[in-house]
Amino acid sequence: MKQRFNPNDLEELTSNAKQIQDYVLKEILTLNANTEYLQRFLHESSDKELFKKNVPVVSYDDVRPYIERVANGEPSNVISGKPITGFIRSSGTSGGKQKIFPVNNKFFEDTEIIYSLRSSIISKHIEGVKNGKALTFYFARGQSTTPSGLYVASGITSYLLSDYFKNRPSNCFTSPDEVTLCPDNKQALYCHLLCGLVQRDQVVSVTATFGSILVGAITFLENHWKEMCSNIRTGHVSDWITDLICRDAVTNILGGPNSELADFIEVECREKSWEASETLFGINMNPLCKPQDVSYTFLPNFSYFEFLSADEGNKGEIVDLVNVKLGCYYEPLVTNYYGLHRYKMGDILQVSGFYNSAPQFSLPGHYVFYWELKGKNIDDIVTLDKKVMVECCCVMEESFDVMYRKNRRKDGSIRALEIRVVQQGTFESVMDYFISKGASPSQYKTPLCINSPEVLAILEDTVLARFFSDKSPPI
């Protein structure tokens, strides 16, 4: 059953972060004491100090053999004291390779806790948000199966396909589940928007897992609003929506012809502009803040967190959640209920404040370069060599001025430079966008810096792989 939370629960969690973290670690170590992985280091002990002394800090390459053994059919107790029920697939944009991580039902329970906490926080800042519906852009991507018969899917897809989502106690979304679970993402997006327009008077929030999805949805609406108005006017869903289950559900939402609503939406959509104003690590306590001011309060009840110092003077020092220092930079280490122990996340975070005794973190900025790579011949497929691409990142950083190199190397106030490789033809699509907005084809120059959300969405939709510099540049 979905767990309900109110602000008092959040106050208790963040005020007792140390005690909760100690409890979580002891519970994880007790639960996984007899696993093959932990027995090598702890011999069934659940002692915190022994854990810190004996269990190594690891990267994905270190734990991949254990994960793959379970995926290939060996028992869950290779890494987990509870049965592994599936695997979460990472996006694969970091370094060009996807990773899979084991999960069990606690993952879904924690997901629901996050959603409940988030709802409570938003309700504190926005009056009446619980009295309406959310136009929510959730999409269930395809899932695959491992040799063991367990599924592999993205985190959001795993939740959407689970009984936890199916049996949730209330439905506050404008879209029926048949739309969310539609395997064709274009049909799903069209139907999400159509259902939201039909129920416009009930919509109090618009939600997506990433901001870029919202940008893409707005662009899609700009291109399809006339067709949607026609659907509303006639009470008939467009013929190209061929998923019959989805189609029937949306037809039921339409409820027949509605010329008055179609006319109203047409007037609004003919305007040229409109104004409007998490991992299972933590939550943004101030949802109305500016994007550049976002920080996340780490909650102590999901996993056991340690932090590897990234500051030059204390590099390599590991501290607990409640012992991080304001303004300092750290790489999170995660010990969870599903078989990861002291796993390096690979991200550098800066401590931006505290909420009671729970620290708040922000992501330091970094330079991102979009590269479109072409082969010698037009039909050549470019093979991305991770070692070469990482070296490209490092060479670029070394070419920057001394102030950049100092900030990168000494205080970590700038994160590692990133190259995102995009599909061939992407920069042509960017040019087409600017021309469609009135730029002259004869005077168009590829922009050196992008701040347009629409152009960023074009670039992000075609990213094939991401690479980061793996060392700080010399001063």
Digit-coded pLDDT (tens) for 156-184: 888 888 888 888 877 788 999 999 999 89
Give the residue among 378, 370, 368 at the shortest CA–CA distance from 414: 368
Of the pLDDT bands very low, low, confident and very high (cuts 50, 70, 90), residue 270 is confident
Token pair of 92 as six digits: 């694969």
Return the pLDDT at 93. 39
Structure tokens at 447: 């922009």
64: number of Cβ within 10 Å: 14
Measuring CA to CA, which residue among 124, 116, 99, 137 is closest to residue 340? 99
Give residue 235's pLDDT: 94
pTM over 0.85: no
Q: What string of DSSP letters covers 238-259?
A: -TT---HHHHHHHHHHH-S--H
Q: Is 277 exposed, middle or buried (0-12, 13-18, 19+ CB in 10 A)?
A: exposed
Q: Which of 211-225, 246-260, 390-404 has the highest mean pLDDT?
A: 246-260
Q: What is the pLDDT of residues 413-457, one digit of tens each?
A: 677 899 999 988 899 898 888 888 876 665 677 888 887 888 888
Q: Using an 8 Å Cβ cutoff, are 59 and 101 in contact?
A: no
More confident call, 204 vs 325: 325
What does the mean pLDDT of the chain come to?
84
Q: For residues 226-237, give the mean pLDDT.
A: 94
pLDDT over 70, % of the chain: 88
Among residues 313, 307, 321, which one has the least CA distance to residue 349?
307
Q: How confident is the model at residue 114 (pLDDT cuts 50, 70, 90)?
A: confident
Two tokens, residue 389 = 């691409």
pLDDT at 257: 94
The set of residues, in sequence order, having a beta carbon less than 8 Å from that of 148 and lying 6+ positions away, is 70, 71, 72, 73, 74
Tell how strand 296-298 and strand 318-320 pair up: unpaired
Q: Work out the percent of the chain whose per-residue pLDDT is above 90.
A: 40
Average pLDDT over residues 281-303: 78
Please give the C-alpha separations between residue 130 and each of 1, 204, 319, in angstroms, as whole numbers.
19, 8, 39
pLDDT digit string, tens, across residues 232-254: 999 999 999 999 999 999 999 99
147: which 2 tokens? 């040799």
- Is pLDDT of 79 > 50? yes
* Cα Rg, the chain, nearest whole Å: 24
Residue 273 has what pLDDT?
Answer: 42
Q: Could you give the CA distance from residue 237 to residue 362 in angstroms, rounded to a whole number? A: 44
State the pLDDT at residue 90. Answer: 74
**C-alpha closest to that of 72 among 102, 96, 98, 93:** 102
Is a pLDDT exceeding 50 seen at residue 71? yes
CA distance 122 to 127: 9
* Higher per-residue pLDDT: 296 or 27: 27
Q: What is the mean pLDDT of residues 128-140?
A: 82
> What pLDDT is stored for residue 291 in this prediction?
63
pLDDT in tens, 43-63: 999 999 999 999 999 999 999
